[in-house]
Chains A and B, each alone.
Chain A
Amino acid sequence: RKEVEQDPGPFNVPEGATVAFNCTYSNSASQSFFWYRQDCRKEPKLLMSVYSSGNEDGRFTAQLNRASQYISLLIRDSKLSDSATYLCVVNPYGQNFVFGPGTRLSVLP
């Protein structure tokens, strides 16, 4: 089993839609969790950290379920500019970041 797994993509959604991405991780000792966004031919950029209580940043909501080792990202009211690959990232305690394979999102006009 891979350390970090994500929904296979691509997700093609119309503008204004709500879309959810899922991510599971295998190392129960993981301490930190993140969603990064990577535009085509660009470097990954931090979108948001994921906290146990869940957190929201504008149209983006991230949730963590430690018991199920599951992370989610919800995007409401999708914009064309949201089109990108979304990377789930897990930081096991005392170890280095592990990146998921990414889920590609295309928001269509």
Chain B
Amino acid sequence: SAVISQKPSRDICQRGTSLTIQCQVDSQVTMMFWYRQQPGQSLTLIATANQGSEATYESGFVIDKFPISRPNLTFSTLTVSNMSPEDSSIYLCSVALAGVTDTQYFGPGTRLTVL
């Protein structure tokens, strides 16, 4: 497996502001993903973070709202832009390891509350 850290672990933000979440992995990974888990719900994939190119977004998620960066094989950021209370959620980074691409491991998540 891999050791995955996320910053911040939680935050409370005002409507209209933006928050950038960082995900750091202790080893090089082939794929990194960003998920959202709304209260009482399961996980929904936001996008796949691609190293050196634009992220691949799932239906219902757009780059202007959730810009993603992945400058190298161990780090990615997700920004939640122009936040509204509906963005209150847990945001999770996950990775697939080289040679084990059919298994994902998750970071501890970032709990976001938008007032």
Contact = CB atoms under 8 A, between A and B. Distances in A.
Interface of A: 31-32, 34, 41-46, 49, 87, 91, 96-97, 99-102
B64 interface: no
Interface residues of B, number: 18
B105 A46 contact: yes
A99 B109 CA distance: 16
Interface of chain B: mostly helix, strand, loop or mixed: strand
B107 A43 contact: yes
B45 A96 contact: yes
A45 B106 contact: yes
Interface of chain A: mostly helix, strand, loop or mixed: strand
B43 interface: yes
A33 to B, nearest CB: 10
A101 B41 contact: yes
Nearest to B48: A96
B42 A97 contact: no
Contact of B42 (A43, A45, A101): A101
A91 B102 contact: yes
Closest 6 pairs (CB-CB, A-B): A43-B106, A32-B102, A99-B43, A99-B42, A101-B42, A43-B109
B103 interface: yes
A44 B43 contact: yes
Contacts of B111: 41
